[in-house]
């Protein structure tokens, strides 16, 4: 498994953070890594008082199950 990384790509835009894409290598799927990445990204945004722009389908589905993060979503980019 050397060299295999699970990642959450992001970009900063104006005062927001855009969550672009979650990637988990095939061999690492099913371990909750994408969930951990989504959670970390949202918690980081919360701690930094950043609004979130969601482009990642996985993060989008994660948010549907966790309405407590809805206030983080930048409504200008929904």
Domains of the chain: which residue ranges? 7-77
4 pLDDT above the threshold of 90: no
Model pTM score: 0.91
78 pLDDT above the threshold of 90: no
Q: 7-77 falls under which CATH superfamily?
A: Gcn5-related N-acetyltransferase (GNAT) (3.40.630.30)
Helix 57-65 vs helix 33-47: crossing angle, to nearest 10: 80
Distance CA 65, CA 26 (A): 24
| Pairing assessment for the beta strands 7-13 and 16-23 based on DSSP bridges | antiparallel
Q: What is the pLDDT of residues 9-50, one digit of tens each?
A: 999 999 999 999 999 999 999 999 999 999 999 999 999 999
Residue 2 has a pLDDT of 58
């Amino acid at each position: 498994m050397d060299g295999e990384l699970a990642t959450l790509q992001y970009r900063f835009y104006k005062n927001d953070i855009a969550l672009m894409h979650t990637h988990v290598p095939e061999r690492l799927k099913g371990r909750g890594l994408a969930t951990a990445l989504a959670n970390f990204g949202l918690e980081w945004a919360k701690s930094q008082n950043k609004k979130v722009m969601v482009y990642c389908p996985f993060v989008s589905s994660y948010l549907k199950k966790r309405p407590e993060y809805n206030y983080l979503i930048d409504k200008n980019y929904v």
